[in-house]
Amino acid sequence: MKKIKILPLVFAGIIIMGSSAFAKCGINSGKISVLANDFPALHAVVSTAEECAGGGVTFSKNHTAKHLEISVPALTANPAQYSVKIVANSSIVPLLNNDLIRPLNDLVAKYGQHLKKNQLITVDGKIMAIAFMANAQHLFVRKDILDQVGHDIPKTYEEVLAACKAIRDAGIMQYPFAMLSKPDWNLGEEFVNMYLGHGGVFFKPGSAEPAVNNKKGVATLKMLKALTSYSNPDFLTFNSATVAPIWEAGNLALAELWGSTGGQILDAKGSTEKITSNTLLVSAPRVGGGKIPASSLWWDGFTIARNISEKDAEASFRAMLHGISDEMVKKNNDKSVWLMDAYVPGKAAAGVFATASGGSQPYPMLPYMGILHMASSKELPDFLQGNESAEQTLADIEAAYISGAKEKGFL
């Protein structure tokens, strides 16, 4: 019998096994780079997509809270600096306005047959993004403190105010409430949510003219002011990063926070058993006799840049599909409210689910909504500090919006 040379065979076997490990997601080559916001759910998705790297596929990622600033310039470059941008309802709008992302219909037909219909974000029939998670701002409550003052879980903001008053009168906490009121994008979001809860409409139908200076706008501002009176006087510095530690230290009884903060607040780190076990995540409250929760629904999804080669686009799409696969969902179930079927809703998702089933409106995906959002962030602090009337503030918001919209060419 001829001596079969074992060693070369072994080497060949290792090489074959190795290269098939490199072609893990079935991708052979391509340059993938991801730009995304910086929170745990997105870290989970992108690091799972990163498993596709190797053997001709290069992968780089950039998680930054400043992604909004750099997305338009980075994707305008040709070739685009990033092939994948993870977006939400509002951050997809400047990319759509400037034609920086490509339709995904062909890629979905080829590789994405398993995607659910509600994951496909379409504009005029073109699939522009694949959504993978939902988020919304909703109410966080400390059940034990509410029991102490004999109040039920509030279903409306009026009940929230009553509960806060009871907590303050009982001497438990002087400032039991917090919302994300930092005068950047956060404060504008509070205005949008409360205004939607009052059933308000932002623009005159079919045009870009603002329509917020009305009774509903005034009621919105008055409710926001009433809520801030139960907030620590430093409320104009509150964003998710500052409020979550305050909650975990047990210094808040009611708060309106992002659902995606739920995972951080409910986990065992940074807080005591007493606080985490008594923290309940419930639907955003209704307000002013309205029928829907005073919140807006958000989706996060990925988009593929237009200014890249077809090969890179295909590689990026397939890598991101791997990033949102069922295995990823199973390993990171509680990090977010995933839209995929493999998701099992847990305690941290209860608030977002309740808000969505209550009929909350999705954040408007209009091209000029961002201008109105930033205008309200700029003008609201004056009202909240008691420097001017509600009508004056709404007039200022509309005036600031109009000069911004004129400059952007919408008016």
Partner 1 sequence: MPHRTFIYFILPSLLSMILLIAVPVFSVIVQSFFVEHEQVLIEVENCNPFKCVKSLSVDQQAGAKLRQEAPLGRFNGINTYTNRNHLAFDEVALAWMESKSLVDFGAKLLNLPFYKALLFTLTYTFIVSPFVLIFGLAIALGVNGLPKFVKGPSIFVSLLPMIVTPLIGSLILFWMIDAKGILGSTLQLIFDDNNLSLKASMPLTWVMLIVYGIWHSTPFAFIVLYAGLQTVPQETLEAASIDGATRWERIRHVTVPHMVPLIIFITLMQLMDNFRVFEPIVGFSASAKATSLSWIIFNDLHGDSKLFGSAAASSIMTIIGVMILLMPVLIRSWKNFNIKLH
Footprint of partner 1 (CB under 8 A): 68-69, 71-72, 89-91, 93-94, 96-97, 99, 118-125, 131, 134, 182-185, 206, 208, 232-234, 236-237, 297, 299, 339, 356, 362, 364-368, 370-371, 374, 378, 381-382, 385, 388, 392, 396, 399-400, 402-404, 406-410
Nearer to partner 1, 60 or 251 (CB): 251
Main-chain dihedrals φ then ψ at residue 166, nearest 5 degrees: -65, -40
What distance in Å separates the CA atoms of residue 183 and residue 374, rounded to the nearest whole number?
9
What distance in Å separates the CA atoms of residue 357 and residue 370, rounded to the nearest whole number?
26
**Which is it for strands 30-36 and 84-88: parallel, antiparallel or unpaired?**
parallel
Main-chain dihedrals φ then ψ at residue 177, nearest 5 degrees: -115, 150
Nearer to partner 1, 59 or 132 (CB): 132
Instruction: Tell me the three state secondary structure of residue 12.
Output: helix
> Cβ of residue 131: shortest distance to partner 1, in angstroms?
5
Nearer to partner 1, 71 or 83 (CB): 71
What distance in Å separates the CA atoms of residue 294 and residue 74, rounded to the nearest whole number?
35
Nearer to partner 1, 101 or 149 (CB): 101
Nearer to partner 1, 327 or 407 (CB): 407
What distance in Å separates the CA atoms of residue 121 and residue 298, rounded to the nearest whole number?
12
CA angle 224, 138, 177 (to 5 degrees): 50
> Cβ of residue 241: shortest distance to partner 1, in angstroms?
11
Q: How far is CA 199 from CA 220, 235, 285, in A?
A: 10, 26, 13
Angle formed by the axes of helices 40-50 and 310-323, to 10°?
120
Nearer to partner 1, 32 or 180 (CB): 180
Question: Could you tell me the two tokens for 76?
Answer: 């305008």
Question: Could you tell me the two tokens for 88?
Answer: 């939400």
Q: Where are the beta strands (DSSP E) in 183-341?
A: 254-258, 279-282, 296-304, 337-338
> Cβ of residue 335: shortest distance to partner 1, in angstroms?
18
Nearer to partner 1, 177 or 368 (CB): 368
> Cβ of residue 42: shortest distance to partner 1, in angstroms?
17
> Cβ of residue 18: shortest distance to partner 1, in angstroms?
40
**DSSP per-residue string spanning 328-382:** HHHHTGGGSEE-STT----GGGHHHHHHHHTTPEEPP--TTHHHHHHHHHHHHHH
> Cβ of residue 340: shortest distance to partner 1, in angstroms?
11
Nearer to partner 1, 232 or 332 (CB): 232
> Cβ of residue 339: shortest distance to partner 1, in angstroms?
6
> Cβ of residue 235: shortest distance to partner 1, in angstroms?
8
